[in-house]
Structure 1
Amino acid sequence: MSTARPPAEHPAAPHPAPHPAGQPDRQPAGYRDAGEPERAARLEAALGDPFDPANPHGHRALLHADDARAVPEATEALLAGAGLAAEFVPHHLGGRLRDLEQLARVLRPLFRRDLALGYGFGITSLFAASAVWTAGDPRQQQALARVLLGGGRVSIVHREVAHANAILRHELTALREPGGGFVLNGRKDAVINAATADAFVAYARTSPKDGPASHSVLLLGPQPPARGELRRLARIETPGMRGAHFSGLELRDVAVPEDAVVGSVGDGVPLALRSFQISHCLIPGTVLAGVDSVLRQAVRAATDNRPDGQPARRGRRALAGVFADLLACDAMAVTGLRALSLVPRDAYLLAAAVKYTMPDLLREDLEELATVLGARGYDRGPFAGGYEKLARDLPVAGLGHSGTAVCQAVLVPQLSTLARTTWFRNDEPPDGLFTPGAPLPAFEHRNLAHFGTQDLLTATLVAAAARLQAQPGPGPLHQALAHLAGLFVEELRTLRARCIALAASGHAAFDPQACALADRYALVLAAAACLGIWEGQAAADTFLARPAWAVLALGRIGRRLGAPVPPTPPQADAEVLAEVLERCRQGRSLDLYGTHLAG
């Protein structure tokens, strides 16, 4: 849909360039590649060494574009040539989207370098299109697939919610016309890619009454409206993601036909609750790659000019601790992404918990890394400087307090039901939930549900703790892990009693006490995801199969809860620190996969 600019010329979408000559085909001894998608490796190679000052897609170039509030055009051209948009189109419509976990891995090379690029050129189109993939009719799906596969972009026009920021403030209204169809009016202050989008997926108010049937989803474009004016307003400056293009959008008496409605009239809120599960898991699963880069820069800062290659004592705990947190966050994100394929009708609460928990953990990790980086955190690249940019970008990526409020609205009303009917009663989820990289059934958007009180992870926590107690492993780390798992089971028992008591007291669902309990519940799920991933690696001879990282990760989560966590065994800190240093020396990612990087 384009009324204020000429049609874009969309480039062809060849495959990314192959691996450069000389890149090793084999991973280091003891490494398990967990099915690294070839597309991810090719994109990583095509983007090149981010620490090379002459690389047009490296940290220095991207930081300079951020300073200038400019879109990094050379890198966008590379991504267009790689046909990245095909990653966001389901395979049955001609795209490459079959597996959300693989999609996150394909996008991590991009987010490892620049969140604004990952959003502006990347997943915004998927988040917009997800409602159409979930409930659209074949004609709508095919039209949107043609836009994306042709190199175009799709943007999302959110409805207004409480605690709104610029992205969520104001909304569109759609009034029925006597002869059929709707007339849209309204404006939004900040819509990403509003100036260049070929189509919009708009959440518009179709009923004056508040409630679950107040809004509908409308597909606008790619053809211009038959009547009315769609105005693309001036660009606005955002404090974070300065290289992304946000601008206003105003609709004046824009006529759209009846068949522009995605799903049914009044489906807007339920459809958002279904399709937003994808963003709830995919955002954390990609933005943690940015923290991976900052941690790598902190390791470099801490080890430069050190004759033994070891960081000073004051930095060791921070480096090991942040690495353990990254693995914990990845455990939760990957579990959520896999759940959307394996158990899509039961993933609703888990997806909200992933998005609710991880932004705060990653923000705390950045603050901890600042103590290691010192003044280097404000360099302008290529070897440091990503810290300052990421600290600005993360709040925009997570929609700030608004994103938290949306996830609270999912979790808090379910706590009392979970406490009465699910915790300590439900069965463990399928084993495949905790095996990163293992094959998944093709993801099907239409299977997503927005109801239910199935809790996928508390059963894993209880069962894993029981197995650790029944068969304690050798050495102090296994004993420490068994003790920590028991602490989280006791935390779940306390949560159950408090949630039942709160419901019996007649307090409102969003009483501050209930929100605090949701905080604690989400952290318990993070601990459960760590235990699930650790157990899932039992047959492998890898770092993740050993207990050190899980001990350190669970200890840090427990301290956030204020639980009586004993001091971490020095062996755990030492093993985790050794792993993060070794991965940095080998040029491997600091996530669950440990894949080779371009630099």
Structure 2
Amino acid sequence: MSAPGTTRPPGQGAHAPARDAPSAPRAAEPARAARLEAALGDPFDPGNPHGHLALLRADEAREVPEATEALLAEAGLAAEFVPHDLGGRLTGLEELARVLRPLFRRDLALGYGFGITSLFAASSVWTAGDEDQRRSLAGVLLGGGRVTIVHREVAHANAILRDEMHAGPRPGGGWLVGGRKDVVINAHRANAFVMYARTSEGDGPRSHSVLILGPDAPAAGEVRRLGRVNTPGMRGAHFSGLELDGVALPDGALVGTVGDGVSLALRSFQTSHCLVPGTVLAGVDSVLRMAVRAATENRPDARPTRRGRKVLAGVFADLLACDAMAVTGLRAMSLVPEQSYLLGAAVKYTMPDLLREDLEELATVLGGRGYDRGPLYGGFQKLVRDLPVAGLGHAGTAVCQAVIVPQLPALARTAWFRTAEPPPALFTPGAPLPPFDHRRLAHSRTDDLLTATLVGVTGRLEGHTGHGSPHSALAALARTFVEELRTLRVHCVTLSGAFDPQACALADRYALVLSAAAVLGLWEARATHGDAFLGDPAWAVLALSRIARRLGVRGADPSDGTVEAVLDELLARCRERRSLDLYGTRLSG
């Protein structure tokens, strides 16, 4: 591992492989992901019971797509959310994201409603539960049951995060729980609830605790499952209310110790911070594919117009940049779990805005087709509705700001330009990982792995100054982001950690710098392995120029040749039915 500023030629020698060089072998698609993709079939086939048309009709009727849920149950998808040592299949989050992408490529509501919510609910138990709690909850999921999460109330709350349960000691031992939540996913059919309940009147870090309401009836009190709540998005998922009245739970219902709720949320929610964007990205993949079809239909050369080329290639570069950040975050939780805390928050903070902007750009290519309700284009409007409900709206941003802003002064003083570079495996998608263990997640380290990568790669790009070459454009952009980091250090070192407009604006810029660092780290790793496309500077130059534009800093504008190189890869993948992420895997349609 090279220290920042040392010389190591990127790629093969001083150059990445030529565009016509054969791609280096990439890690094979997990067999479970390939089987699920094949079982779900061609999403654009109107006769497919698991295709876009069937899922759109279920969404319009606000019904769960029962045929597809039955297929997922038969495939044992719930086992993906249970750690391997408890009898499940969960060994790493990157692999889990790849298994879930076929599902999210078709329907976010199905991905949430059928199972991923169970993982988010169970994560605090996998993180801090005792052996009995872990095995009991694993038994619920492996037996075909469902687990859901009852969130605590937070500032800037949406309906899902509004209101909360409260709990106190019960005379004679155990806990007495009461309260009401009006919007809980799968409350009507959950076999177990993991609740973040208020156990202290104060608002400090020890205000909440985690309790499990299992499948057995409580010793006393009443559990009321209230009526369904119609949401503007994810209409095929089932949200309803939950009310507890004097519910008595045993001492063994407490996860960890009293007051651990906020700390457990900070630790265990790291998984959702990367996993949600890393799976939702597959839905945008589908919309980009729709836009390519719309832009090339009836075109004699099967290529978009000049304006359409820039939009499509730019969005494709954004998807790759988002995937670089998400996959890096997912891999970090296996490789360096004690240092993945900030990275996970930055992924969740940055990606939603990028993906929303991409959908707005794609709307200009789709035109009137964007209002279509059929199998070819109907998924666009559905995704636009679903994204905010999937936790990618204002509430999710506020939660991530609460993680990042207090850390900025310490990062500026002790981490930036000082942290050692992370292991190269962090930027090698699909490469073997040590088993993921929720219990190793932390939330107190202030190392900054990606800024170290930014500085290191920029140093290794020095010398690429030939005007107009792709590598010189990449080197210039890399230097732009290093200078942005220096500017951030000057402004952040004096911050008090308070949430004011200046601090939030600096957090915005910091997260974008991290996304640029992920692009550079991924590009360098793939260049070293001889990847003909991801190891070529073109996609990285286009992605970084778009990030620089969002920062409002002067960056090298990508050449027409750069845009065309990225567009060529996009069109080839669409023709060959390959995914538009880092993996380029075969799809059913």
Same fold (TM over 0.5): yes
How far does residue 265 in structure 1 lie from its aligned partner after superposition?
1.0
Q: TM-score, normalised by structure 1?
A: 0.93
Which range moved further: 471-480 or 72-81?
471-480
* Structure 2 residue aligned with 1:550: 540
User: Which of residues 509, 534, 552 is equivalent to 2:523?
Assistant: 534
Question: Is the counterpart of residue 198 in structure 1 residue 191 in structure 2?
Answer: yes
Equivalent pair of 1:32/1:542 in contact (CA under 8 Å): no
SS at match of 2:449: coil
* Structure 1 residue aligned with 2:576: 586
Change over 3 Å in CA distance of 1:469–1:29 after alignment to 2: closer
Give me the identity figure in percent.
Answer: 74
Matched letter for residue 536 of structure 1:
A
Matched letter for residue 586 of structure 1:
E
How far does residue 165 in structure 1 lie from its aligned partner after superposition?
1.0
* Structure 1 residue aligned with 2:13: none
User: Which of residues 422, 425, 428 is equivalent to 1:432?
Assistant: 425
Change over 3 Å in CA distance of 1:31–1:235 after alignment to 2: farther
User: Which of residues 417, 437, 441 is equivalent to 1:444?
Assistant: 437
Q: For residues 413 and 466 of structure 1, what CA distance do their matches in structure 2 show?
A: 29
List aligned pairs for 1:283-432, cutoff 5 A.
283-432=276-425
Equivalent pair of 2:408/2:495 in contact (CA under 8 Å): no
Matched letter for residue 499 of structure 2:
F
How far does residue 198 in structure 1 lie from its aligned partner after superposition?
0.3
SS at match of 1:201: strand
* Structure 1 residue aligned with 2:158: 165
Matched letter for residue 419 of structure 1:
A
How far does residue 551 in structure 1 lie from its aligned partner after superposition?
0.1
How far does residue 472 in structure 1 lie from its aligned partner after superposition?
5.9
SS at match of 1:537: helix
| CA RMSD, 1 decimal | 1.3
SS at match of 2:545: helix
Structure 2 residues without counterparts, runs of 5 or longer? 1-20
* Structure 2 residue aligned with 1:523: 512
SS at match of 1:66: helix
List aligned pairs for 1:111-122, cutoff 5 A.
111-122=104-115
Q: For residues 224 and 401 of structure 1, what CA distance do their matches in structure 2 show?
A: 36
* Structure 2 residue aligned with 1:493: 486
Q: For residues 237 and 473 of structure 1, what CA distance do their matches in structure 2 show?
A: 58
Question: Is the counterpart of residue 572 in structure 1 residue 578 in structure 2?
Answer: no
Equivalent pair of 2:22/2:531 in contact (CA under 8 Å): no
Equivalent pair of 1:33/1:595 in contact (CA under 8 Å): no
Q: For residues 471 and 477 of structure 1, what CA distance do their matches in structure 2 show?
A: 9
SS at match of 1:545: coil
How far does residue 387 in structure 1 lie from its aligned partner after superposition?
1.1
User: Which of residues 81, 95, 99 is equivalent to 2:74?
Assistant: 81
* Structure 1 residue aligned with 2:212: 219
1:96-139 CA distances to partner (integer Å, 9 max, x unpaired)?
00010000000000000000000000210000000000000111
User: Which of residues 113, 124, 128 is equivalent to 2:117?
Assistant: 124
1:174-233 CA distances to partner (integer Å, 9 max, x unpaired)?
011121111111000100000000000000011111111110000111211111100000
List aligned pairs for 1:17-28, cutoff 5 A.
none
Q: For residues 501 and 92 of structure 1, what CA distance do their matches in structure 2 show?
A: 46
Equivalent pair of 2:24/2:530 in contact (CA under 8 Å): no
1:370-389 CA distances to partner (integer Å, 9 max, x unpaired)?
00000111111211121111
Matched letter for residue 513 of structure 1:
Q
Q: For residues 478 and 533 of structure 2, what CA distance do their matches in structure 1 show?
A: 19
Matched letter for residue 597 of structure 1:
L
Q: For residues 217 and 272 of structure 1, what CA distance do their matches in structure 2 show?
A: 9
Equivalent pair of 1:182/1:257 in contact (CA under 8 Å): yes
SS at match of 1:140: helix
Equivalent pair of 2:476/2:555 in contact (CA under 8 Å): no
* Structure 2 residue aligned with 1:175: 168
Q: For residues 541 and 140 of structure 2, what CA distance do their matches in structure 1 show?
A: 48
Structure 1 residues without counterparts, runs of 5 or longer? 1-27
Q: For residues 474 and 313 of structure 1, what CA distance do their matches in structure 2 show?
A: 25
How far does residue 501 in structure 1 lie from its aligned partner after superposition?
3.6
* Structure 1 residue aligned with 2:17: none
Q: For residues 491 and 314 of structure 1, what CA distance do their matches in structure 2 show?
A: 30
User: Which of residues 79, 83, 87 is equivalent to 1:90?
Assistant: 83
SS at match of 2:62: coil
Q: For residues 341 and 417 of structure 1, what CA distance do their matches in structure 2 show?
A: 25
Q: For residues 167 and 128 of structure 1, what CA distance do their matches in structure 2 show?
A: 14
Question: Is the counterpart of residue 260 in structure 1 residue 253 in structure 2?
Answer: yes
How far does residue 452 in structure 1 lie from its aligned partner after superposition?
1.4
User: Which of residues 512, 515, 518 is equivalent to 2:501?
Assistant: 512
Equivalent pair of 2:51/2:375 in contact (CA under 8 Å): yes
Q: For residues 588 and 31 of structure 1, what CA distance do their matches in structure 2 show?
A: 16
SS at match of 1:457: helix
* Structure 1 residue aligned with 2:127: 134
Count of residues paired in the alignment? 568
* Structure 1 residue aligned with 2:229: 236
Q: TM-score, normalised by structure 2?
A: 0.95
Equivalent pair of 2:464/2:472 in contact (CA under 8 Å): no
SS at match of 2:493: helix
Q: Which runs of 4+ in 1 moved over 4 A?
A: 471-475
Q: For residues 474 and 146 of structure 1, what CA distance do their matches in structure 2 show?
A: 62
Matched letter for residue 520 of structure 1:
R
Q: For residues 35 and 179 of structure 1, what CA distance do their matches in structure 2 show?
A: 56
